[in-house]
Amino acid sequence: MFKCSTLKLFPCIALAFLLAVFSVRGNVLAYESFNLNSNQDILIEDFESEDYGEWQVEGEAFGSGPAQGALPGQMEVGGFRGDRLANSYHGGDDSKGTLTSAKFEVKRPYISFLIGGGGYEGETCINLLSGGEVVRTAEGTNTQSGGSEQLMWDSWNVKKLHGKMVQIQIVDSRTGGWGHINIDHIIQSTKARRVVHDKQREFEFSSKYLNFPVKNGAAKRWISLFIDGEKVREFDIEIAPEDPDFWVYLDVSEFAGKTGSLQIDRCSTEWEMGFDAVYQADSFPGQDNLYQEKRRPQFHFTSRRGWMNDTNGMVYHDGKYHLFYQHNPYGWKWGNMTWGHAVSTDLLHWDEWGDAIHPDQMGTIFSGSAVVDHNNTSGFQTGSGEPLVAFYTSAGNNGQWSRGEPFTQSAAYSYDGGRSFTKYEGNPIIGEIAGGTRDPKVFWHDPTNKWVMVLWIKEDIFSLFTSDDLKNWQRRSDIPGFFECPEMFELPVDGDPARSKWVVYGASGDYKLGDFNGTEFAAETEKIKYEYGNCFYASQTFNNVPKSDGRRIQMGWGRGIKMTDMPFNQMILFPVRLTLHSTDDGVRMFANPVREIANLHNQHWRSSEKLVRPGENPLSDISGELFHIKAVIEPRGADKIEFIIRDTAVSYDSSAQQLSCNGKSAPADLENGKLTLELLVDRMSIEIFAQNGRIYMPMGVDLTGGPKSLGFSSEGGNAFIESLDVYSLNSIWLSE
């Protein structure tokens, strides 16, 4: 019992409170009350040095120092802080080792750390040692194939160890799959930093979109959407803990008026944004700047948001060209394969309708094709409209719902011109054949009155199947020599239908010519090189183009054209018309930009019958971003002629008769002493066509940082311009 005067009342009250804290809460929490810096974390180790310093290293698994992300043979590692982390994948999953820290005093109620890798208790783990004994432990999250090399927060409650001297031990004593551990940013903290599993949020859907913040390189998380207890969407996403690089959206308009439950598999308690920042609205962040972004191609199709690759399901129907494509709606990188969808009436201006076919229990949605079933052979038609029928690969082991399931072939149909699709209840229409069998291309064969499917089976084998009803398929024969993304069609030679040849090609575009009787393809040539650029892959041609048009129109993926710092990635190459022509080397397939390009022409500069001497530039007065250039040139005495497109050279070596650009080259023999060139110049590409389409060289190149000038030069002698037409082009997205 003690006494206080009135003047000393406040200090006495404070002292009484502190005594109560000691008696009720114990020494650990009382210590926190006295520690003026108790809200500050204490760093134990961030692994940012080139070596492990005072840490004791045993075995080979951790190497001689921290890793800078993923090690050779390892999947991408994310979620760590800074540039380095402790990673026991040195030498792969079969190496073993430990890291043991120096002793330190416990001064905070929690020890927190970022952890990933194998989830094997006691074998791929981090331990807290006190007196040489394990008093706390945690392991990674992965034990099955697949998984993610993303680090997430975890914490130990160490209040009872306050004031004791302890050590951290990181252990890898396991071999085989996920036989490694990843650790970073070990701290003493005043609050726990943990992973919350299967957190849910409820939404009453009254708007068009759910908007998600994305940070490239953040930990990938699995998001699921449930409607009336049924899972209707699932995808992974690099959800931003803070400062998103961009926002993506999930279109929920089909669920209007319903209540949905959005679930994330794991999230950190320390995130400021992430899952809690998801919101619904009738617009998405960045929509006001849509198609005006710095690296947005202006006459090549790109998706509003996310990654895109292979063209799929290309078909003409009811006045519209339908372009489907492999799409990750939720990230800048490949993943979550879904069929995106855009339509055009002129092959130039594209209206993105949104995602058409979504992943399901059978897997993600890989590449395929689409047809119009004019005669309702499938029986899918119930009204007056002809059904659109899409064929795709259900990639079973690429989706969270069905890991380990096989690759099979499936169908979906649309009654409303492609606005919505219903998956065939009898899927799969073709079961598992080999591990990765995929990419069904389907077309109608008039002479046999049957549907034909070309399917990549494995290695270098395509197989031909036939069907009467688009549901039941019989395997007929094989075509060797091609890898994935099959295409097959008939073309007249030199415009003469009586001399037609069948063309077969795979993802690279290199093709064979031959004859097809409805069940077997008889090749008449070896594989012939199609294109010479740096970005062409996985193209497809439109089915059902009207006979009155008669064109075979191809569009391919502009592979590797990275849209750095953009909310979208990759693009589709400009549509080309394919034709067969007789040459000195035999029949060859030519590619030329479709004639509709002329509808984008704006300003026009023309030069003809002009001699160009070394040092002269007849294009010096022209500048801009988007161009269509057509030229017929005689090199004459010039050793080299060259177009300079915003600092990027398109060159022709007269003696070698070789065309080149950015390290790629193609043989281009002069015809009657002349070189014919056609160039399509966009912000992220230059597509080169030479000798009237005999040479096709699509080049991905970022032109956004260079000058807007054009140049033409002659070296070593004079060149003669027979004709040179330069057209500036209007954007397909923005009105002038």
What is the 8-class DSSP label of residue 534? S
What is the 8-class DSSP label of residue 23? H
Contact between 503 and 454 under an 8 Å Cβ cutoff? The reply is no
Q: To which H or E segment does residue 16 belong?
A: helix 9-25
For the annotated catalytic residues, the residue numbers are: 310
The residues that bridge with 86 in the sheet, in sequence order, are 183
What is the 8-class DSSP label of residue 118? B
Contact between 506 and 527 under an 8 Å Cβ cutoff? The reply is no
Identify the CA nearest to 680 among candidates 706, 703, 663, 657: 703
Question: Rounded to an integer, what distance in angstroms lies between the CA atom of residue 142 and that of residue 163?
Answer: 34
Contact between 487 and 541 under an 8 Å Cβ cutoff? The reply is yes
Which residue reads 């998984």 in tokens?
147
- 3-class secondary structure for 326-359? EEECCCCCCCCCEEEEEEECCCCCCEECCCCECC
Peptide bond into 428 cis (omega under 30): yes
Q: Are strands 627-634 and 42-45 parallel, antiparallel or unpaired?
A: unpaired
Q: To which H or E segment does residue 643 belong?
A: strand 640-645
Q: Report the side by side order of strands in the sheet with 364-372.
A: 364-372, 388-395, 407-414, 422-423
What is the 8-class DSSP label of residue 704? T
| Torsion angle of C-alpha atoms 24, 27, 33, 35, degrees rounded to 10 | 180
Q: How many CB atoms lie within 10 A of CB 183?
A: 27
Question: Rounded to an integer, what distance in angstroms lies between the CA atom of residue 309 and that of residue 328?
Answer: 9
Q: For 452, what's the count of Cα atoms within 13 Å in the CB-facing half-sphere? A: 25
3-class DSSP state of 431:
coil
Q: Which two tokens stand for residue 96?
A: 């073993």
Question: Rounded to an integer, what distance in angstroms lies between the CA atom of residue 450 and that of residue 34?
Answer: 85
